[in-house]
Amino acid sequence: MSTFQLEVSTVAEYCRIAALADSEPKSPTKTIYFNFDTITKTQTENQEDKLTT
């Protein structure tokens, strides 16, 4: 999987989580912001950890 595909799938997962939280009728309305730089950095760190273990 390329880095770009991994980033896109990560963003898709965050969006899925946000949509699930949004669809909960008992939850107050909320806005979720994602910092793409943070997501990318976290994914890169996770990949590096996997390579070193």
At residue 4, does pLDDT exceed 60? Answer: yes
User: pLDDT at position 22, please?
Assistant: 60
- Residue found under tokens 């989580």: 17
∠ CA(8), CA(46), CA(39), 5° rounding?
40
Q: Which of the four pLDDT bands, split at 50, 70 and 90, describes residue 31?
A: low
Domain spans of the chain, in order of start:
3-52
Using N-to-C axis directions, what is the helix angle for 3-23 and 36-52, rounded to 10°?
120
The answer to whether residues 21 and 32 touch, using CB atoms and an 8 Å cutoff, is: yes
Q: Which two tokens stand for residue 26?
A: 């008992």
Whether the pTM exceeds 0.85: the reply is: no
